[in-house]
């Protein structure tokens, strides 16, 4: 597939086919879609009049505008995996957004230079859900699972000349999900035009069977589809990151064969790793005689992965442990509609934390995320399903499992088996089949499918039913046993299982609300407060889960633990545990970052441990507590330094060093008896040599005085899609954050960009993400500005009653 378009390859194709038709074209069907909610069976017809329908751009999420309502997908369920004994009403489990029901998309399209001997394919990166695809009034095919990519050859449905009509029907059922799935054509739709002799969608398979510092073997299998039996020649160049050809091969493929195998040797390869995400490209041309029939590009990385008893996980021969997070697919206020700039920001934030891996819970990722992980350096566990045969929700994947599981797996495996970031497959998450007699057989069957299509990567699954998974043989089947929330039982699992290593597929599930602190500070499970928030002292978790330090201890102490994937990197829409029965609450509390992507305190705890390149020094809580004077208000410091001294209004509260007296004191410095008085807290950090090397302070804030803006980027691309995320803070006259502020802000974006969305990270807020106004939560929010398609300046003004407004400028180039 031609996903990774580069000027270089386009130029090559253009040059080599000068005066003739191009070998292959790919178009994104982005603009000028017509959309209507509800069912419109007549809309399959070409003559259907859709003038009254809304005009939208794809990717599109029809439900993210809201309004929020606790009755949307209200679920009466007993969540067995959470240990619930009886069913109760769950509002907000799927985000309280109106995604249920049918929706239709229509678009007319032409296929440039379509002629006898050409083929056309529609490739959907994902369509939520139960997609039915119609071209020119005829049904082309269906694909139920909303997270998977799928394609159909539409050659035989096309008109010889002129316009064609594409209609897509989607339908989301109630009680089909445990989180917000999004709705509609929320990922890209591609039209690919080739010659009859061509490389099909995902038609190359590239592996690096032997890798050393001195040389690497690269193996490329290329599938050729053609209706005429003709011999072809496959010519491939391997290009390094600078575009230099480092190896070449020319291989004849006889008329009766469909797969060509080429082998290359690359001297002194630049190895791929999260720290050195070097991307090579295989550029393949298919010739019939002297005629170029197809040109296809396969980006790849050169790296080796091994998982070994006694050694754990090795990347390029070097052992390392995964510092990973689990992420759902939604992008907070943008909903499920995919946007590369939004994903890039997430990856950037995670990498700053020292995170090196993402688990794509609990489904196939968007191709844009996989490409970014290749290019920016994040390892991926590519996951497939949250359910197999046994249901968790009434209308979940179990309804499709028998008919679709192999097709869904194969598409995922073919789609992502060339990506260097992808270092393992996951066949499922907490499937209740762990407890059934044949659970292990299903696991073996799915794992075998993965091995058949991709023998180079191991397979895991997230297991929560520890005893069943071990006793019924399920855990022993997996290449990598993955456990959800079982750090205390790792030694037992290790002793009972044959693999010789194990992994925390899902860890922590600590809950917190950014900037909210509750007293007294104590460990609590399932703790609920009247305001539907959780405390940011990071002592609160679910009945089945832990605080971060409990996992850290095991990962640090047990050689055979190969790393963890924290639940979750970012807050997501839906699953507002512990408030899933207490509307209003529409989003999770598990994130290290809130729904707006603002770091919670926990970010600094993970960063202090994971980011080994940059120092971390962070103090909590905020120090503006009118009414708490004289009361105990513990102060925590999350730092990469081994010790620090705390001062309250200049008076020392003592110097603390990390020690092994408890899980927490190994990773946090905690002054538990500090008594609040307004003023300032300051911490001075000492390095291993005992030298004072850094300071951090937090001051009591005065009254809200003005707004401060901070944009994550000041120059955007004029592609109509690029985004800047601007953090707005309400501060006092001296610039201190007002941590209790809840001012309503209004946004005016003019010029070469527009206001796109806003979020404040407050799970209880029912304000719409798409309206240019929102209240700050704990003094902050983030709004998003989208570039237009023309170059120019963007002017941003943010106003609020009674405090000074703020403005900033961006440029679009």
What is the contact surface with ligand GAL in residues (CB under 6 A)?
81, 362, 429-430, 464, 484, 506, 509, 542, 545, 567, 575, 577
Nearer to ligand GAL, 264 or 490 (CB): 490
Cβ-based neighbours of 712, under 8 Å, separated by 6 or more:
345, 724, 725, 726, 727
Beta-strand pair 502-508/480-484: parallel
Nearer to ligand GAL, 274 or 428 (CB): 428
Nearer to ligand GAL, 575 or 601 (CB): 575
DSSP state of 690: S
Q: What are phi and psi of 689, to 5 degrees?
A: -80, 0
Nearer to ligand GAL, 199 or 541 (CB): 541
Alpha-carbon span 811 to 790, nearest angstrom: 10
Query: Considering the complex, what minimum distance in angstroms separates the CB of residue 382 from ligand GAL?
Result: 16
Does residue 46 carry a catalytic annotation?
Answer: no
Alpha-carbon span 194 to 695, nearest angstrom: 61
Nearer to ligand GAL, 297 or 430 (CB): 430
Residue 656 near residue 671, CB atoms below 8 Å: yes
User: Burial level of 65, CB count in 10 A (0-12/13-18/19+)?
Assistant: middle
Query: Considering the complex, what minimum distance in angstroms separates the CB of residue 278 from ligand GAL?
Result: 34
User: Burial level of 615, CB count in 10 A (0-12/13-18/19+)?
Assistant: middle
HEC profile of 64-90? CCCCCCCCCCCEEECCHHHCCCCCEEE
Cβ-based neighbours of 88, under 8 Å, separated by 6 or more:
76, 77, 78, 581
Alpha-carbon span 167 to 340, nearest angstrom: 25
C-alpha dihedral sign at 18, 21, 23, 24 = positive
Nearer to ligand GAL, 577 or 585 (CB): 577
Nearer to ligand GAL, 93 or 119 (CB): 93
Residue closest to 342 by CA, chosen among 788, 762, 724, 768: 724
Query: Considering the complex, what minimum distance in angstroms separates the CB of residue 411 from ligand GAL?
Result: 22
Nearer to ligand GAL, 125 or 464 (CB): 464
Query: Considering the complex, what minimum distance in angstroms separates the CB of residue 510 from ligand GAL?
Result: 9
Other Cβ atoms within 10 Å of 203 Cβ, number = 20
Query: Considering the complex, what minimum distance in angstroms separates the CB of residue 575 from ligand GAL?
Result: 6
Query: Considering the complex, what minimum distance in angstroms separates the CB of residue 328 from ligand GAL?
Result: 8
Total count of residues recorded for the chain? 813
Q: Which residue has the tokens 């292959």?
A: 24
Query: Considering the complex, what minimum distance in angstroms separates the CB of residue 547 from ligand GAL?
Result: 13
Nearer to ligand GAL, 566 or 776 (CB): 566
* C-alpha distances in Å from residue 199, one per residue of 119, 222, 298, 453, 720: 11, 7, 11, 17, 31
444: its two tokens: 């073996």
CA 295 to chain centre: 30
Nearer to ligand GAL, 304 or 533 (CB): 533
* C-alpha distances in Å from residue 475, one per residue of 284, 363, 466, 594, 671: 41, 20, 9, 33, 42
Residue 32 near residue 55, CB atoms below 8 Å: yes
Q: Which of 132, 171, 375, 430 is catalytic?
A: 430
Cβ-based neighbours of 614, under 8 Å, separated by 6 or more:
352
Query: Considering the complex, what minimum distance in angstroms separates the CB of residue 359 from ligand GAL?
Result: 10
Does residue 430 carry a catalytic annotation?
Answer: yes
266: its two tokens: 């690359």
Q: Which of 506, 551, 575, 767 is catalytic?
A: 506
Give one DSSP letter per residue of 13-34, joined into a string.
Answer: HHHHTTTS--SEEEEE--S-EE
Report the residue number whose CB is nearest to ligand GAL.
Answer: 509
Query: Considering the complex, what minimum distance in angstroms separates the CB of residue 511 from ligand GAL?
Result: 9
Query: Considering the complex, what minimum distance in angstroms separates the CB of residue 715 from ligand GAL?
Result: 38
Q: What angle do CA 326, 208, 204 make, to 5 degrees?
A: 80
Nearer to ligand GAL, 114 or 385 (CB): 385
Q: 206: which strand partners?
A: 220
Nearer to ligand GAL, 538 or 575 (CB): 575
Alpha-carbon span 758 to 667, nearest angstrom: 34
Residue 639 near residue 617, CB atoms below 8 Å: yes
Q: Which residue has the tokens 């939604």?
A: 330
Cβ-based neighbours of 715, under 8 Å, separated by 6 or more:
810, 811, 812, 813
Nearer to ligand GAL, 313 or 485 (CB): 485
Helix (H, G, I), strand (E, B) or coil at 783: strand
Residue 245 near residue 239, CB atoms below 8 Å: yes
What angle in degrees, to the nearest 10, is found between the helix axes of 340-352 and 367-376?
40
- Helices marked H in 285-364 — which ranges? 340-352
518's torsion region: left (phi>0), alpha (psi -120 to 50) or beta?
A: beta
User: Burial level of 727, CB count in 10 A (0-12/13-18/19+)?
Assistant: middle
Q: Which residue has the tokens 């032409």?
A: 110
Question: Which residues are part of the catalytic machinery?
Answer: 430, 506
């Amino acid at each position: 597939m031609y996903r990774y378009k580069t000027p270089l390859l386009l130029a090559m194709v253009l040059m080599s086919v000068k005066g003739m038709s191009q070998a292959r074209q790919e178009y994104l069907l982005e603009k000028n879609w017509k959309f209507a909610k509800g069912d419109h069976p007549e809309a399959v017809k070409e003559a259907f009049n859709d003038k009254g329908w809304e005009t939208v751009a794809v990717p599109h999420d029809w439900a993210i505008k809201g309004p929020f309502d606790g009755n949307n997908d209200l679920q009466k369920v007993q969540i067995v995996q959470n240990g619930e004994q009886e069913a109760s009403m769950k509002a907000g489990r799927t985000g309280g957004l109106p995604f249920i029901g049918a929706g239709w998309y229509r678009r007319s399209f032409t296929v440039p230079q379509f002629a006898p001997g050409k083929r056309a394919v529609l490739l959907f990166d994902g369509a939520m859900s139960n997609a039915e695809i119609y071209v020119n009034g005829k049904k082309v095919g269906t694909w139920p699972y909303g997270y998977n990519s799928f394609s159909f050859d539409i050659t035989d449905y096309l008109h010889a000349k002129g316009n064609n009509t594409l209609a897509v029907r989607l339908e989301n059922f109630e009680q089909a999900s445990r989180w917000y799935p999004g709705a509609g054509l929320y990922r890209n739709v591609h039209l690919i035009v080739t010659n009859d002799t061509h490389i099909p969608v995902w038609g190359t398979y590239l592996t690096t069977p032997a890798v050393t510092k001195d040389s690497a073997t690269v193996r490329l299998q290329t599938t050729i589809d053609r209706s005429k039996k003709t011999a072809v020649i496959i010519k491939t160049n391997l290009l390094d990151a600078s575009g230099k050809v480092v190896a070449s091969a020319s291989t004849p493929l006889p008329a009766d064969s469909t797969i060509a195998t080429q082998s290359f040797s690359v001297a002194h390869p630049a190895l791929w790793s999260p720290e050195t995400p070097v991307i090579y490209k295989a550029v393949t041309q298919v010739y019939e005689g002297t005629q170029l029939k197809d040109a296809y590009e396969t980006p790849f990385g050169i790296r080796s992965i091994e998982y070994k008893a006694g050694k754990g996980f090795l990347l390029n021969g070097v052992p390392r442990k995964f510092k990973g997070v689990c992420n759902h697919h939604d992008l907070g206020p943008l909903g499920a509609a995919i946007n590369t700039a939004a994903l890039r920001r997430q990856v950037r934030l995670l990498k700053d934390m020292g995170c090196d891996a993402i688990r794509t819970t609990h489904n196939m990722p968007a191709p844009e995320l996989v490409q970014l992980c290749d290019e920016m350096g994040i390892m991926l566990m590519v996951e497939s399903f949250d359910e197999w045969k046994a249901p968790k929700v009434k209308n979940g994947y179990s309804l499709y499992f028998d008919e679709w599981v192999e097709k869904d797996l194969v598409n995922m495996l073919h789609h992502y088996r060339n990506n260097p970031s992808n270092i393992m497959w996951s066949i499922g998450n907490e499937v209740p089949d762990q407890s059934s007699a044949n659970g292990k057989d299903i696991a073996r069957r799915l794992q075998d499918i993965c091995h058949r299509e991709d023998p180079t990567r191991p397979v895991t699954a997230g297991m929560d039913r520890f005893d069943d998974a071990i006793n019924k043989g399920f855990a022993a089947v997996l290449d990598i046993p993955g456990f959800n929330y079982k750090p205390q039982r790792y030694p037992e699992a290790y002793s009972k299982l044959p693999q010789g290593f194990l992994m925390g597929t899902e860890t922590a599930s600590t809950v917190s609300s950014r900037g909210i602190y509750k007293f007294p500070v104590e460990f609590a499970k399932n703790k609920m407060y009247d305001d539907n928030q959780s405390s940011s002292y990071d002592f609160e978790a679910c009945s089945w889960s832990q605080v971060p330090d409990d996992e850290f201890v095991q990962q640090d102490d047990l050689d055979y633990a190969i790393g963890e994937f924290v639940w979750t990197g970012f807050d997501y829409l839906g699953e507002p545990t512990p408030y899933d029965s207490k509307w209003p609450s529409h989003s999770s509390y598990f994130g290290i970052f809130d729904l707006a992507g603002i770091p919670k305190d926990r970010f600094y705890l993970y960063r202090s441990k994971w980011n080994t390149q940059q120092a971390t020094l962070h103090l909590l809580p905020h120090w503006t507590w009118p009414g708490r004077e004289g009361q105990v208000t513990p102060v925590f410091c999350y730092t990469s330094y081994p010790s620090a001294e705390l001062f309250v209004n200049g008076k020392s509260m003592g110097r603390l060093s990390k020690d092994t007296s408890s899980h927490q004191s190994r990773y946090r410095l905690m002054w538990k008896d500090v008594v609040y008085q307004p003023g300032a807290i300051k911490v001075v950090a000492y390095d291993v040599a005992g030298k004072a090397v850094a300071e951090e302070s937090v001051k009591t804030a005065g009254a809200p005085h003005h707004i401060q803006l901070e944009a994550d980027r000041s120059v955007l691309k004029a592609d109509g899609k690029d985004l800047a995320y601007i953090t707005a803070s309400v501060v006092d006259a001296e610039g201190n954050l007002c941590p209790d502020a809840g001012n309503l802000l209004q946004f005016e974006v003019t010029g070469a960009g527009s206001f796109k969305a806003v979020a404040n990270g407050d799970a209880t807020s029912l304000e719409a993400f798409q309206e240019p106004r929102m209240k700050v939560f704990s003094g902050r929010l983030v709004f998003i500005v989208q570039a237009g398609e023309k170059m120019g300046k963007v002017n941003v003004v943010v106003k609020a009653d009674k405090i000074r407004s703020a403005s900033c400028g961006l440029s679009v180039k």
